[in-house]
Structure 1
Amino acid sequence: MSIIGWIVLGLIAGFIASKLVNKTGSGLVTDIVLGVVGAFVGGFVFTRFFGAAGVTGFNLYSMFVAVAGAVVVLVLYHLLFGRRAL
């Protein structure tokens, strides 16, 4: 997947995850970073614990993996640092 693909996937996944966890978006750059990091975390979790593929390209399955990973990252962030803004 290209850099633009990762940015778009990260933006969408980060926005959805921050809406699910925070009930509000976190900002353009933060949502992109959150989504890309979430894609890596989700890919690791899905591969390691479920035996499924991680991010496979720009498709709905990869979006689900990235959103799941971003939600994990946000929940861990809030557990470690409280409810401060990102």
Structure 2
Amino acid sequence: MSLIIFLIIGAVAGWLAGQFTKGAGFGILGNIIVGIVGSFIGGFAFGLLGLSSHGLIGSIVTATVGAIILLYIVRLIKKA
């Protein structure tokens, strides 16, 4: 059951990050991948700042922030 929740959080976070950065999602698989990678980045960034997230909403926020950071870095690399 936790794998399904993990995938749902990834999909929601990826979709939200797409909405914030370029105005569209990346398809269900793309959203899941962006959200999952974003959750690791967000967890690392929040840890550096001494912040922690609890519960479903906290996990979605952390993953979304990480996914936005990921998409920003990818755009910087694509421009170079």
User: TM-score scaled by structure 2?
Assistant: 0.90
Large movers: runs of 4+ above 4 Å: none
Report the AA paired with residue 41 of structure 2: V
CA RMSD for the aligned pairs? 1.5
Q: Indicate yes or no: 2:37 matched with 1:37.
A: yes
Q: Indicate yes or no: 2:66 matched with 1:81.
A: no
Gaps of 5+ in 2: none
Report how far residue 5 of structure 1 moved: 1.1
Q: CA-to-partner distance for each residue in 1:19-45, whole Å, 9 max, x for gaps? A: 110111111101000001001100000
- % same residue: 33
User: TM-score scaled by structure 1?
Assistant: 0.84
Matched residue of 2:73: which SS? helix
The size of the alignment, in residue pairs, is: 79
Higher helix fraction: Structure 1 or Structure 2?
2
Matched residue of 1:70: which SS? helix
Gaps of 5+ in 1: none
